[in-house]
Amino acid sequence: MAKLRDQLRGVFGFPITPFRASDLSVDYAALEKNVALMSAHPFCAMVAAGGTGELYSLSVEEAIEVVRVAKATTKMPVVGGVGLNSPIACAMARGMEKAGADALLVLPPSYINAPVNGLMQYYADIGRATGLPLSIYSRDWAVFSPDMVARLADLVPTLEIWKDGQGNARTYQRIMAKLGDRLAWVGGLGDDCLPTYLACGVQAFTSSISNTSPKLALELARLGGLTTGKPADFAAITPLMNRFVHPIYAVREHVKGYEVSVMKYAMDLTGGGITGGPVRPPLEDVRPEHRATVQAIVADYQSAGY
């Protein structure tokens, strides 16, 4: 039977977790509707309770329920986000497996000064907790050398997918060269890094823009050859990046955590039945002085049919 990793080509949809403005509880009905709307588009998989889904702000029970709702709503593979520390991540993993998750996305542990051996044990513990394929998200302080990734692939038999969140093309190419086809390679830092990831040879990328403009995310994947098998058309990709991608990512750089806040605000502006809603602490909602810029960006998306 083909492994899940071989099916994951194109774009990962990355739904946010909507919260109610009244008490910041999870709005599961809004989540179900968001996922249903996103599922009308041919993403290769859906990531529930990931970084864009504010995993770090969810309880274990909430994270599992987010995955359960997503899985019950879509026919595409659902990848559940886990993290924080070994006991919590393992509890999430076991619950998500029962909820129907097809794979797990492992975020770095919350302790930022972990030694290499301890970091390896963290991933090994989560790998043993279920029989699900593992995708490791190398972001923030979870920085890996090619030798470390090879060691981890030997240590964790269920490791199938590597999601890069460092944006260091030099290192990522060396990792990919060392591991070859042992893992599926995914670009995970952001839509704005897609041209770099295409040059490295990824088979898919994760898209927060998928929340507001599935058509744009999928068009970038098509032009990048991820869904067609053709060479990337950088001449066609560049104007789309310059007009639609870079402006919204520029706003996201104003405040830490805006990678979620801006997308949620843009969702509420987009309409069409999708819900963004507020963020939970430790994030903050989009500040008044930045809202007009986001409004103008969303209006430009809509005028172009995205």
Place of tokens 């190398």: 138
- For residues 256 and 266, what is the distance between their CA atoms, to the nearest angstrom? 17
Kindly tell me the sign of the dihedral angle through the C-alpha atoms of 164, 166, 169, 174.
negative
Of 167, 195, 190, residue with least CA distance to 263:
190
Of 250, 248, 225, 227, residue with least CA distance to 236:
225
137 among known catalytic residues: yes
Q: Are 40 and 4 in contact (CB under 8 A)?
A: no
List of long-range contacts for 20-24, beta carbons under 8 Å, 24+ apart: 20/277, 21/277, 21/278, 24/278, 24/280
163 among known catalytic residues: yes
- For residues 136 and 106, what is the distance between their CA atoms, to the nearest angstrom? 5
Of 180, 126, 196, residue with least CA distance to 5:
180
Query: Which token pair is 235?
Result: 């001449």
The separation between the first and the last C-alpha atoms of the chain, rounded to the nearest angstrom, is 37
Q: Active site residue: 137, 172, 265, 301, which one? A: 137
Q: Active site residue: 163, 249, 258, 301, which one? A: 163
Do β-strands 134-138 and 103-109 pair in parallel, antiparallel, or remain unpaired?
A: parallel
Active site residues: 137, 163
